[in-house]
Amino acid sequence: MLAEMLARTLATISVMNITVSVVCYKYRPQKDGRHPLMLRVSKDGKRSYQSLGISVNLEDWDFKKNEPKLSCPDREYIQKIIIDKKAEYQTQILEFKTSHKNFTASTLIQATERTTIVKTVDMFYKELIAYYRGIGKVGNSNIYRDSYNSIKTFKKTDKLDFHFSEIDLVWLNEYEKFLISCSKAETTMSLLFRTLRSAFNKAIEQNLVRSEDYPFKGFKMSKFNLKTKKRAISKEEVRKILEVDLSDEKELIQLSRDVFIFSYLQGGISFTDIASLTAENIINGRLEYSRKKTNTMINVPLQKESIRLIHKYSDEKRGYLFPILNKQSHKTPIQKYSRIQKKIKQINYSLKKIAGKVGIEIKLTTYVARHSYATVLKRSGVSTSIISESLGHSSEKVTQIYLDNFKNEQIDKAMENLL
């Protein structure tokens, strides 16, 4: 409520013949299709602009009020930046007025930006962590949190009181040596460096550091070996899991088997996406959903066994197809994330017991179902253009693009090879 009041109060700063407002550059889209927000300073009939370092989708911006719409997913984050920036300009305007200094729209921008406190790495990371948590992307928030904590350990400090401009190639090499000394896996190091690179790019967008200071041009991310131990089982082993008698086992054991089979049969759907499925995702005998990780639409035929499993766990009161989430008790993004993380640990532990029961030596997890789906199709002669062994890793986006571009009949035909 307070932020809303402040946003309206500071919608346009007007002091004497000076106005400071925020506009969206409607006709200057960026490469990602979003449009930049600019601070517009008007004085004596002349205007000057200063980038806010943030951008929005056109449908999320109210051009009449010059503010983010109520439906804008980044509304609170954008409003905070606007409020803080306008407050800085208001302070500078008052300083000019009280000291009787003449100034133009251009010199006002120069003076304000020069006196503005440059965010430290610590401040910027905390903003990113809070921002992603605020819009419900708890996983992203945790990734930046882990990166933040790793850098703090590296620097042996509780606060990262330095600027992004201080992160150069030497700094990155020292950070890599530190991670190696801590025996970090190369997949972990790759993630930490990719997260840091992402934060650095966002800092460039907000004019916190010059693009010329970008240190990753000389730091090769490809050096990290991202190949992991094969985690797939054969079609015959999948059948063993499907046919094993678990009638005397606890409900959690049975659910674990059913989730594994459902994932395998439905295109290697991830556990998070399974947990989020509702009746609305079933359309004309097909499973349609938006992949949480990539936001790409997936459309695959519902297999006969999958339909049986859906009926088995059907419960309208719960609101979800499987007994993982409950709309009555898991309402916020954090509640859903915490529940999914807790449940996936329980299910993976149960899958380990099932593996022992049917004589499968590999460590059985929900991820194995995804990998097995890709591997079985490939061994059946299905084109790698439709599905690849690396589903869920670095090439997942490419794989999903191929899946989206192929006709449903091609995917349907490929999935006939699963059992």
Report d(CA 279, CA 321) in Å as an integer: 7
pLDDT in tens, 354-392: 999 999 988 899 989 988 888 777 777 766 656 643 343
Q: Decide if 391 contacts 373 (C-beta within 8 A).
A: yes
pLDDT of residue 398: 46
The pLDDT assigned to 76 comes to 83
**Is 50 exceeded by the pLDDT of residue 181?**
yes
pLDDT category of residue 319 using cuts at 50, 70 and 90:
very high
Lowest mean pLDDT among 47-56, 171-180, 394-403: 394-403
Helix axes 333-358, 251-265, angle to 10 degrees: 90
Calpha distance 306→384 (Å, rounded): 24
Q: What is the mean pLDDT of the chain?
A: 83
User: Please, what sign has the CA dihedral across residues 289, 291, 295, 297?
Assistant: negative
- CA–centroid distance for 306 within its chain: 28
CA–CA distance, 45 with 37 (Å, rounded to integer): 21
pLDDT, tens digit, 9 for 90 and up, residues 278-295: 999 999 999 999 888 777
Give the whole-angstrom CA distance, residue 334 versus residue 325. 12
pLDDT score of 82: 87
- Digit-coded pLDDT (tens) for 187-245: 899 999 999 999 999 998 887 888 888 999 989 888 887 665 667 888 899 999 999 99
